[in-house]
Structure 1
Amino acid sequence: MATRMLEGKKVAILVESEFIPEEIAAYQQRFGELGATVDFMSRLWGNESLRFVSDVDAVGKSLKYLDVNIDFQNVDINDYAAVIVSAGYTSVRLRYFEATAGRPISSEQTRTAPAVQFFAQAMANPKIVKGAICHGLWLLTPMPELLQGRKVICHEVTLADIANAGAVYVPSASGIVVDGELVTGRSGHDVGAFIEAIAQLIIQQDTESVQKQEFIGVTS
């Protein structure tokens, strides 16, 4: 793929502690090479920034840190060409929601988690490319209607939950499955192909938008 093809585009990546350092580095490097701006974001709990830590594959190595100063609750999701849920514990941690005091917890309340709502907004906009890798689709299981009938791939540990939410699991030798504007990857180790599939879809979205505008111009 030619370089700088994503010039001017913004990519949002949801992260949390216990991230996979190599995956994070791949987003920074490859999307940067393609000209896109990469915004790592999370729930900051009222803080100006948070430092996330990872000891993934840290045996004999030092801990890895990721400083994040963007709260996804404070951004306009429509500014982004793609929204990605990273691998690791991101989807697990960001599904946290505040239970109403004095009332029993219900499964319906899981839908209120801010990150679930954020990704649901992205799913509702066909112009935004959505990406979920490894455990990422766990973020959508509180809203099974968003997964119903979608072709996906995910890590085996999340497969039962994703299938129970109505998604269609598709084995893939490449570790990547594309269904419309939704890109899923089996594991963080497949991040290279995952990024390329997302980039291709962003370019495709742009091309189709230009063609539509040209068609409107000709017929008006």
Structure 2
Amino acid sequence: MSRKIAILIESDFYEHEIWYYHYRFAEAGLEARFVSRLWGQPQITFKGHEYHAPFECRDSFEDIDDQALADYGAVIVPSGMVADRLRYTEDLSRLPPAAAFLQRAFARPDLLKGIICHGLWLTAAVPGLVKGRRLTCHPNLYGDALAYGAVFVDEDVVVDGDLVTARTGNHAHLLARALVERLG
């Protein structure tokens, strides 16, 4: 299995979670690649939610085609407002690019998908991705999970095959542990 993990990033990210992934995955010998929509720019500096800490992103998920996606072992949709910002689309007749990327990830059962807290929002445009799947999410998204047809489980971390979910950004260590164990 691949040793690379794509982690979506945007402004209003939860700093503790993002920095934890940066160090934890490196410690496990995994390569954390932070990806976003760069809007044709070579890089964008995003600001965190609590401390407004800057985070520079140089990789676009729009550059990850199906062949390149095969080089990844996992994709993570983090907590905070990342998913809400990434579900923007200028053409309402098309899926938001980040949702389309996630849809391609879900089409690969060999690729782990990690969704934590409000990250579940990114599935709103494609609720069939989680329909019938066991998951957890932030309590504020409980109704969203049910509306998407998911089976909500009241636990801090839930594993349903290739889908690993965690309740809040404060449970990033549990999500990371579950992914590291599966990536071996």
Tell me the distance in 1 between the aligned counterparts of 2:139 and 2:80.
13
Q: TM-score, normalised by structure 1?
A: 0.79
Q: Which structure is richer in relative contact order (CA contacts within 8 A, separation 6 or more)?
A: 2
Tell me the distance in 1 between the aligned counterparts of 2:34 and 2:69.
13
Specify the alignment match of 1:3 in structure 2. none
Residues 1:16 and 2:16 are matched in the alignment: no
Report matched runs for 1:124-143 at 5 Å: 124-143=107-126
Q: Which has the higher strand share?
A: 2
Q: TM-score, normalised by structure 2?
A: 0.94
Q: CA deviation at 1:16?
A: 0.6
Specify the alignment match of 1:159 in structure 2. 142
The 1:177–1:65 alpha-carbon spacing in structure 2 relative to 1, beyond 3 Å, is same
Q: CA deviation at 1:162?
A: 1.6
Specify the alignment match of 1:41 in structure 2. 35
Aligned-pair identity (%):
39
Report matched runs for 1:11-160 at 5 Å: 11-56=5-50, 58=51, 63-75=52-64, 76-99=68-91, 109=93, 112-160=95-143
Q: Given that residues 181 and 201 in structure 1 are in contact (C-alpha distance below 8 angstroms), is that contact kept between their aligned partners in structure 2?
A: no
Tell me the distance in 1 between the aligned counterparts of 2:97 and 2:143.
24
Tell me the distance in 2 between the aligned counterparts of 1:161 and 1:74.
30
Q: CA deviation at 1:55?
A: 3.7
Q: Given that residues 147 and 166 in structure 1 are in contact (C-alpha distance below 8 angstroms), is that contact kept between their aligned partners in structure 2?
A: yes
Structure 2 unaligned residues grouped into runs of 5+: none
| Bigger Rg, structure 1 or 2 | 1
Structure 1 unaligned residues grouped into runs of 5+: 1-5, 100-104, 204-220
Q: CA RMSD in A?
A: 1.3
